Amino acid sequence: MNIAVIGGGVIGLSAALRLSAVARVEVFTRDDPAETTSTRAGAVFSAFDAGDMVDVLSASAVAFAELAGDGDAGVSLRPSSEYWSRPGPIPAWTGVVAGALGTRVQSLAPVGPYAGGFRLTVPQVDIPRYMPWLRGRVLASGVSITRRAVDAVALLFGEGFDLVVNASGLGARVLAEDPAVRPMRGQVVHVPNDLGLTEALDATEPDGSITYIYPFAQHVVLGGTYEHDEQACVTEPGALDAMTERCRGLLACTGRAGAAGLGRVRLRALAGLRPARVVGGQREAVRLELERTKAGPVVHAYGYGRAGVTLSWGTAARVVELVGMV
């Protein structure tokens, strides 16, 4: 079987790697894989709006845990603490991940402006290391990667492909004729890890903004934003300054030393347009299914918003299952 995968981000590359065991695969990507939105991700495992994708989430957790033993992949298993500004139950996805990894979820007491939260060991992915590693694995498996914009899925069937995997991210708005696909801009700052931070911190602020501190060996990701329908893929100085201040506040109120010095030096600032799929007005929903079109079978895997890295390996496994149904 000849399979075309549209999309060179983390979903497309992960699916291509798994499919390479059962088919000849070619990836078509408009952008250089080194410039996709996936390369700007914070990439600490969190389900966000994963909804009912329990099996996908669990499979991803297990796959990333296995990769934590590969020193080149940039994956580690470390604690992550998440706080929220209003009281509420610990989200159900944490139990799924804890069960998959054989760990446990710990409740966190209120602190500062936060009403509580939870602590959980999760996979944490050093994206500047991980994405080149993943691309290398894909190429080593015999998959070819072609820089080319695909204007219509049907064209690929005319070129001899038996099946198409649509992992085109924002491109799915046109390729799948799905108006629910919308850009959600994210902005982050990378700073030196000169405080020796090891634990990820997340918080939902009283005003609804999001704050996160994701430490890795050589840098710390400070974030962030989730800007609905913002299509300009640029960073804004005011937003970067505000998120850095929020990160200092989160670090200080959770008892970490040296908070005032966090982010005084910046390595780089990044923006990316997350490919979300908003249905029913507000709810985000991934599309992961087989469609039998007149031109040929298409497996859709798009609409991941901020959960692309988290759900990537579970999605790849599900794509293989869907291909087997053709």
Coil, helix or strand at residue 13: helix
Q: In the prediction, which pLDDT does 49 show? A: 55
Cα gap 167→27, rounded to integer Å = 10
Q: In the prediction, which pLDDT does 43 show? A: 83
48: pLDDT strictly greater than 70: no
Q: In the prediction, which pLDDT does 266 show? A: 96
Helix H or strand E encompassing 300: strand 297-302
100: pLDDT strictly greater than 60: yes
The model's confidence at residue 204, banded by pLDDT at 50, 70 and 90, is very high
Q: In the prediction, which pLDDT does 50 show? A: 57
Task: Tell me if the bond preceding 169 is cis, omega within 30° of 0.
Answer: no
Domain boundaries, the chain: 2-324
Q: What digits encode the pLDDT tens for the residues 253-283?
A: 998 888 999 999 999 999 999 999 998 877 8
Check if the beta carbon of residue 274 is closer than 8 Å to that of residue 305.
yes
Taking the C-alpha atoms of 201, 205, 211 and 212 in order, what is their torsion angle to the nearest 10 degrees?
Answer: 10
Q: In the prediction, which pLDDT does 108 show? A: 96
Q: In the prediction, which pLDDT does 134 show? A: 97
Check if the beta carbon of residue 237 is closer than 8 Å to that of residue 244.
no
Which positions ≥6 away from 149 have C-beta within 8 Å? 30
Q: In the prediction, which pLDDT does 263 show? A: 94
Give the percent of the chain with pLDDT over 90.
87
Rg (CA), the chain: 19
Share of the chain residues as helix, strand and coil, in percent rounded to the nearest 5: 30, 30, 35
Cα gap 3→303, rounded to integer Å = 21
Q: How many CB atoms lie within 10 A of CB 88?
A: 11
Cα gap 83→160, rounded to integer Å = 51
Pick the CATH number of 2-324 from 1.10.3720.10, 3.40.228.10, 3.40.50.10470, 3.40.50.720: 3.40.50.720
Is the model more confident about 96 or about 46?
96
Cα gap 179→190, rounded to integer Å = 33
Strand partners, 107: 118
Helix H or strand E encompassing 92: helix 92-101
Strand partners, 118: 82, 107
Q: How many CB atoms lie within 10 A of CB 231?
A: 10
The DSSP secondary-structure symbol of 283 reads: E
The model's confidence at residue 318, banded by pLDDT at 50, 70 and 90, is very high
Check if the beta carbon of residue 178 is closer than 8 Å to that of residue 276.
no
Cα gap 3→157, rounded to integer Å = 9
The DSSP secondary-structure symbol of 90 reads: P
Q: In the prediction, which pLDDT does 283 show? A: 83
Q: What digits encode the pLDDT tens for the residues 285-314?
A: 999 999 999 999 999 999 999 899 999 999
Q: Which residue has the tokens 């408009």?
A: 30
Q: How much is the average pLDDT of 112-117? A: 94
Helices (H), 141-202: 153-158, 172-175
Which range in 39-43, 140-144, 252-256 is most confidently predicted, on average pLDDT? 140-144
Query: What does the angle CA 293 – CA 294 – CA 300 come to, to the nearest 5 degrees?
Result: 15
Q: In the prediction, which pLDDT does 280 show? A: 81
Check if the beta carbon of residue 82 is closer than 8 Å to that of residue 90.
no
Q: In the prediction, which pLDDT does 244 show? A: 97
